[in-house]
Structure 1
Amino acid sequence: MWLVGVRDGATIALLYAAAHPDGLAGAAIIAPQLFPEATHSAQLLRVRAAFETTDLRERLARYHDEDDDTADPASLVDWNIEDELHRLRCPLLAIRGFPGDEYSAATHIDALKRHAAGATPLETPARQDADSVSLNRTIVRFINRCTPLSQN
């Protein structure tokens, strides 16, 4: 099975691949989030201030258990999956994302390259065209290169 994911879906695909290192044919991920960006951390801390000084906690309470710390958005400031990435073994195509996409920071792809040395092969195209046709072609070419014809 191949997984393809964008943003949160890319992060979930990475976590699945790390948890099941021999369970995937490969993954193509676009704009994965491995940790909060500094600007997002600042936003989360602003939300925490609102959480502590307004009725935000009560408004979110119906969606969370009383003891559920995930109701506090700032609990995500220290969230990080880099330690999971060393278990990756499957072929991995990691695409930064589209130009101008605020969630496609190069720092995530750089961190992925540092921590996912076991992903074979690991390809990270330098740039991505801003259209879905080019993106789909890039993914299909990668899958074709990594999958024997008998499995296509």
Structure 2
Amino acid sequence: MIDLTVDLQNASAAQHLPTAEQVEAWVQAALQGVQWQDGAAELTVRIVDEDEGRELNHSYRERDYATNVLSFPFTAPIPMPVTLLGDLVICAPVVQREASEQSKTLVAHWAHMIVHGTLHLLGYDHIEDAEADRMERLETTILTGLGFADPYVEVGD
């Protein structure tokens, strides 16, 4: 078990949000999935509504809409006793809408967004096809290890 601290901030009016224990378990699984060896880790997960999600996506990515997850990696300027991974901002209404559109359970989609965002904090990306394939395989391995279905398989396939 990795020495992990997750600061969960709820700035959303949405219902059916994941618990702090669920979020921590999903981050733990992501870190174990990449064979984390860097000791203690800490990150913040902020759950927001569409106004804040849209504002942040516009400010940092110049895209004028709320997206499911934003990742803000942190690199410490000096060595620290704990690795500060950074911040995840997850827009609850977008996650809920996507889960419904993709015929996934809400908890499965929340787990996917937490794992996906954590991998971004660790430097994984999906801009290039090869990177996307690598990241999707890793996400699938982590999520199926948690008992969820492959998030990239269309329902009915």
Instruction: Pick the structure with more helix per residue.
Output: 1
Normalising by structure 1, we get a TM-score of: 0.23
TM-score (norm 2): 0.23
